[in-house]
Protein backbone atom coordinates (compact mmCIF):
# COMPACT_ATOMS: atom_id res chain seq x y z
CA UNK A 1 0.00 0.00 0.00
CA UNK A 2 0.86 3.67 -0.03
CA UNK A 3 3.42 5.10 2.38
CA UNK A 4 3.75 8.84 2.95
CA UNK A 5 6.77 10.34 4.69
CA UNK A 6 6.61 13.92 5.98
CA UNK A 7 9.41 16.23 7.17
CA UNK A 8 10.12 17.99 9.41
CA UNK A 9 8.06 16.87 12.39
CA UNK A 10 8.43 20.33 13.98
CA UNK A 11 9.14 23.61 12.23
CA UNK A 12 9.65 26.92 13.99
CA UNK A 13 9.85 30.10 11.90
CA UNK A 14 9.76 33.81 12.60
CA UNK A 15 6.57 35.63 11.79
CA UNK A 16 6.76 36.94 8.24
CA UNK A 17 9.21 34.30 7.07
CA UNK A 18 8.38 31.38 4.79
CA UNK A 19 7.77 27.78 5.82
CA UNK A 20 8.27 24.68 3.69
CA UNK A 21 7.04 21.19 4.51
CA UNK A 22 8.02 18.22 2.36
CA UNK A 23 6.40 14.86 1.70
CA UNK A 24 7.32 11.81 -0.32
CA UNK A 25 5.03 9.00 -1.40
CA UNK A 26 5.67 5.46 -2.54
CA UNK A 27 2.76 4.46 -4.82
CA UNK A 28 3.19 5.78 -8.35
CA UNK A 29 -0.57 5.24 -8.88
CA UNK A 30 -1.40 8.02 -6.40
CA UNK A 31 -2.81 11.02 -8.21
CA UNK A 32 -4.36 13.25 -5.56
CA UNK A 33 -2.35 15.12 -2.92
CA UNK A 34 -4.16 17.30 -0.36
CA UNK A 35 -2.75 19.27 2.53
CA UNK A 36 -4.67 19.68 5.77
CA UNK A 37 -4.31 22.04 8.71
CA UNK A 38 -5.47 20.72 12.06
CA UNK A 39 -5.80 22.69 15.26
CA UNK A 40 -5.86 20.88 18.57
CA UNK A 41 -9.02 18.82 19.03
CA UNK A 42 -10.56 19.93 15.74
CA UNK A 43 -11.19 18.45 12.34
CA UNK A 44 -8.57 18.62 9.58
CA UNK A 45 -9.22 21.55 7.24
CA UNK A 46 -8.27 21.29 3.59
CA UNK A 47 -5.98 24.19 2.73
CA UNK A 48 -4.86 23.23 -0.76
CA UNK A 49 -4.70 20.17 -2.98
CA UNK A 50 -3.04 19.19 -6.23
CA UNK A 51 -3.67 16.51 -8.78
CA UNK A 52 -1.02 14.63 -10.70
CA UNK A 53 -1.63 16.43 -13.97
CA UNK A 54 -0.42 19.70 -12.44
CA UNK A 55 3.06 20.63 -11.20
CA UNK A 56 2.21 23.62 -9.06
CA UNK A 57 -0.80 25.32 -7.54
CA UNK A 58 -1.04 28.55 -5.61
CA UNK A 59 -3.69 30.14 -3.44
CA UNK A 60 -2.66 33.50 -1.97
CA UNK A 61 0.11 32.77 0.59
CA UNK A 62 -0.04 29.01 0.11
CA UNK A 63 1.45 26.98 -2.71
CA UNK A 64 2.02 23.31 -3.40
CA UNK A 65 4.50 21.78 -5.82
CA UNK A 66 4.48 18.23 -7.12
CA UNK A 67 7.31 16.24 -8.68
CA UNK A 68 5.81 13.01 -9.99
CA UNK A 69 9.12 11.61 -11.15
CA UNK A 70 10.68 11.95 -7.73
CA UNK A 71 7.37 11.23 -5.98
CA UNK A 72 7.51 14.19 -3.70
CA UNK A 73 5.36 17.22 -3.03
CA UNK A 74 5.83 20.27 -0.86
CA UNK A 75 3.77 22.90 0.91
CA UNK A 76 5.02 26.48 0.88
CA UNK A 77 3.58 29.15 3.15
CA UNK A 78 4.84 32.70 2.67
CA UNK A 79 4.53 35.70 4.98
CA UNK A 80 3.65 33.47 7.90
CA UNK A 81 1.29 34.77 10.55
CA UNK A 82 0.61 33.63 14.15
CA UNK A 83 -2.67 32.05 13.05
CA UNK A 84 -0.71 29.72 10.78
CA UNK A 85 0.49 27.87 13.88
CA UNK A 86 -1.04 24.37 13.77
CA UNK A 87 -0.26 20.81 12.73
CA UNK A 88 -0.11 20.29 8.98
CA UNK A 89 -0.66 16.93 7.32
CA UNK A 90 0.08 15.89 3.77
CA UNK A 91 -1.82 12.99 2.25
CA UNK A 92 -2.01 10.93 -0.92
CA UNK A 93 -4.61 8.77 -2.60
CA UNK A 94 -5.67 7.27 -5.91
CA UNK A 95 -8.60 9.66 -5.78
CA UNK A 96 -12.30 8.95 -5.99
CA UNK A 97 -13.30 6.08 -3.75
CA UNK A 98 -9.89 5.62 -2.15
CA UNK A 99 -9.10 6.74 1.36
CA UNK A 100 -6.23 9.04 2.18
CA UNK A 101 -2.85 7.94 3.47
CA UNK A 102 -1.55 10.68 5.73
CA UNK A 103 1.95 11.74 6.63
CA UNK A 104 2.82 11.94 10.32
CA UNK A 105 2.30 15.66 10.50
CA UNK A 106 4.37 18.80 11.00
CA UNK A 107 3.88 21.03 14.01
CA UNK A 108 4.38 24.53 12.65
CA UNK A 109 5.21 27.18 15.23
CA UNK A 110 5.21 30.82 14.23
CA UNK A 111 7.42 32.88 16.56
CA UNK A 112 6.24 36.49 17.03
64 belongs to the binding site for another protein (CB under 8 A): no
99 belongs to the binding site for another protein (CB under 8 A): yes
102 belongs to the binding site for another protein (CB under 8 A): yes
Report, in Å, the least distance between residue 12 CB and another protein: 17
Task: Supply the DSSP string of 24-86, one letter for each residue.
Answer: EE--TT--EEEEEEE-TTS--EEEEEEETT-SEEEETTEEEEEETTTTEEEEEE-S--GGG-E
**Contact footprint for another protein (CB under 8 A):** 1, 32, 34, 36, 41-46, 49, 51, 89, 93, 95-105
Amino acid sequence: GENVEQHPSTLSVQEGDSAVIKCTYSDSASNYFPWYKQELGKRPQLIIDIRSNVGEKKDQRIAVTLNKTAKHFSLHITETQPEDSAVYFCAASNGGADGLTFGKGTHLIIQP
